[in-house]
Chain A
């Protein structure tokens, strides 16, 4: 019940296209869903996050869509650029156990010119 599933494992998108990464969770106590971006050899950095009281959050080219009833959330990267090539992790956590974040296995995104 603590698992966060993420798909696809890897993704190749052409420059200017839309990248979509999907995540699903089981634990209904989760109430915070961040996305992290990690470049090779670097630590993950927070990209965007959402709480379940909204269905969508947009920051620049990055949008999180959240479906509370389906327990699914997704990251959309509009106008994908080669500089977006990185590994993306979705995550989930609960205010009742603030010290523990459950990460998805990651998606390796390659944006080709």
Chain B
């Protein structure tokens, strides 16, 4: 059963804590992405990775960090430097074909709440 999995579904964080959101895909996609979704604001790109061991900042990377040690995994760490982390976080992947546009497939999301 191919797809993208995210865990946990719900996550609660205390002020000053770092938390890591998991994203795994078995679609054999090269490219992976992290988005943040706030009500009425659509999706905003945090980080993306085109290949293993390489990643680029998106529009709102401050306070976040990522790693891409394996093709199928792209974890996101929300650090204490992120001042307003409460949001719905979405991971996506795509084939990542250079020079062409391809479709992004999304995971089910993780809802992060800061207590």
Indicate the size class of the contact surface on chain B: 20 to 34
- Whether the pair A44, B41 counts as a contact (CB closer than 8 A) is no
B43 CB within 8 Å of chain A: yes
Bound-complex Cα distance A44 to B106 (A): 6
Min Cβ gap B32→A in Å is: 10
Residues on the B chain within 8 Å of A104, using CB? 42
- Interface segment, B14-22, B61-69, B93-101? B93-101
In the complex, chain A residues 6-21 whose Cβ is within 8 Å of any chain B Cβ: 6, 9
- Whether the pair A43, B107 counts as a contact (CB closer than 8 A) is yes
- Whether the pair B31, A41 counts as a contact (CB closer than 8 A) is no
- Whether the pair A49, B97 counts as a contact (CB closer than 8 A) is no
- Whether the pair B100, A95 counts as a contact (CB closer than 8 A) is yes
A97: nearest chain-B partner, CB-CB: B101
Indicate the size class of the contact surface on chain A: 20 to 34
Bound-complex Cα distance A43 to B106 (A): 6
B98: nearest chain-A partner, CB-CB: A98
- Whether the pair A32, B101 counts as a contact (CB closer than 8 A) is yes
- Whether the pair B40, A93 counts as a contact (CB closer than 8 A) is no
On whether A103 and B106 interact (CB within 8 A), knowing A31-B101, A98-B98, the answer reads no
Residues on the A chain within 8 Å of B111, using CB? 41
A63 CB within 8 Å of chain B: no
Question: B-facing mask of A72-91, CB < 8 A → 1, else 0?
Answer: 00000000000000000100
Min Cβ gap B52→A in Å is: 15
Bound-complex Cα distance A106 to B6 (A): 22
Residues on the A chain within 8 Å of B100, using CB? 95, 98
